[in-house]
Structure 1
């Protein structure tokens, strides 16, 4: 049975668990080699890795594969969806001043939804993403955080993939939030390592303050009984707005704090493959395996 469980992020609704598992397995082997552990990489079999798949829960019935609903800026609803767009936009402009000033201002401190969406589509994090896909991503994140029915179904999918052999859980993007909430809720004792990559867990108000269990006095609960938590973020990743998670999630007595690592994934700051092939990811897996 799988020793390493991956949990995918947004925009995977037109793929499947086996397809993602093969991609993650190869990237993990690459990370092990980069970290200097070729022998461990050679021993890591495809059956040692499994990606919990939940993307189909966000696939509208009757939609064409790869297409999805024809979302536009008008489909971004006030409230969490617009707030998340605003947070991504502000972070993108801070990291990439070349995106320019907020043309299309609708008043002091307010920027038109259409303007924010267009600028994000030209940012490093979302380059090459279709407009309707980005709006769909916003809706996926907010649905998990605000719809208890969706959250329960995603967590059930995750729990179904955890076995007595599972030693590590890796969560990417929204999958890092899923991983955190699953471990905090179920606390499987056999899981020793949590790796979060491209994680929005530290995003105030929109994500951090909506976690279950709810943070208290500005600090989040430790995720179950894991003995080690490694967090990896690209310096230009807009989704991973808060790069340092250690101050937000204090460990229990006797457990080391979150190990935060900054990486440079080049033209793909949020992608799963460059995260898994990074030295910090490879070293963390090697230490366990």
Structure 2
């Protein structure tokens, strides 16, 4: 009985589906315990390990290769996408400050275009050391958005995780983009989607207009889900992947829930999963 389908985010090629499932369940049950709710059974969560599909599709050579890290050359198309995304999340006062400071101290990877330097430094002023991680994330998001055949394979794998008892979908990071893409396309067979009541997104890059445009959503167009699924977006203002903002400004149908994941790794999946908005969303739907 699968009551929750989870869609994980980036950087999961070095782990397994079993380990990810254990980590997610442990975090969810910790959060449920904090609000006085019983633990989820071991079979309540299905978490497809989709990351290998993108890796193979990009001619991934092995688990130690990072196709989107600082040592991987960046194409002009990637640079254009990353630059657009950065321009949409940096603040003008930080850009102005960079103009006064110059970019001598940035020390960016040599394989990244120099035109990204001022934008990255501006982002680092707000999220120290977050700029490079944001770029890496945007490169992987773009790979999903602009490789339609691979993206369809990822969605097909996730569809198989649903059954008639599924009531909650949780998407973290890039996983929130994939999960939203799946739900909005209405690709889940009706007999498996009929019980879905709640969509929970955590640390979602859907806040970035360039990402939404990659899904074919025009600027100013609200995000929508089919049916009467309640959408709760959980975000930490210190999360460098989201730009520190929520999604309610993008769509009135989305309820934002602000949390504090601490300073160590505010984008961490397990930190998001144990927060009160996430576990209350699960507790209210998994009955």
| Gap runs ≥5 in structure 2 | 106-112
* Cα deviation 1:101-157 (Å, max 9, x = unaligned): 45159xxxx963367668878985866x9x7x8765443211111121121111111
CA 1:248 to 1:115, structure 2 compared with 1: closer, same or farther past 3 Å? closer
The answer for the alignment partner of 2:201 in structure 1 is 196
Which stretch has the larger CA shift, 86-95 or 44-53? 86-95
Q: CA deviation at 1:77?
A: 2.0
Taking the aligned partners of 1:152 and 1:95, their CA distance within structure 2 comes to: 40
C-alpha root-mean-square deviation of aligned residues, in Å? Answer: 3.4
TM normalised by structure 1 equals 0.78
Cα distance in structure 1, aligned partners of 2:12 and 2:129:
15
- 1:1-289 matches, cutoff 5 A: 1-34=1-34, 36-38=35-37, 40-41=38-39, 44-59=40-55, 61=59, 63-68=61-66, 72=70, 75-84=73-82, 87-88=85-86, 91=89, 101-104=101-104, 112-113=115-116, 137-186=137-186, 188-204=193-209, 206-211=210-215, 214-215=216-217, 218-241=220-243, 243-250=245-252, 257-266=253-262, 267-289=264-286
Deviation at 1:199, TM superposition (A): 0.4
- Cα gap change, 1:52 to 1:88, in 2 (>3 Å): farther
Contact conserved, 1:232 with 1:275, CA < 8 A, in 2?
Answer: yes
Measure the CA separation in 2 of the matches of 1:121 and 1:11.
21
For 2:126 and 2:246, the matched residues in 1 are separated by 22
More off after superposition, 152-161 vs 235-244: 235-244
Matches of 2:147 and 2:68 in 1, distance apart?
22
Using structure 2 for the length normalisation, give the TM-score. Answer: 0.79
CA contact 2:8–2:173 (8 Å) conserved in 1: yes
Unaligned stretches of 5+ in structure 1? 251-256
Number of aligned residue pairs: give it.
268
Per-residue deviation, residues 192-250 of structure 1 (Å, max 9, x unmatched): 1000000011211x111222xx4367223422224311101110112113723223234
Q: Which moved more, 1:183-192 or 1:216-225?
A: 216-225
| Structure 1 residue 33, shift from structure 2 partner | 2.1
Counterparts of 1:70 and 1:221, CA distance in 2: 27
- Kept in 1: contact 2:237–2:243 (CA 8 A): no
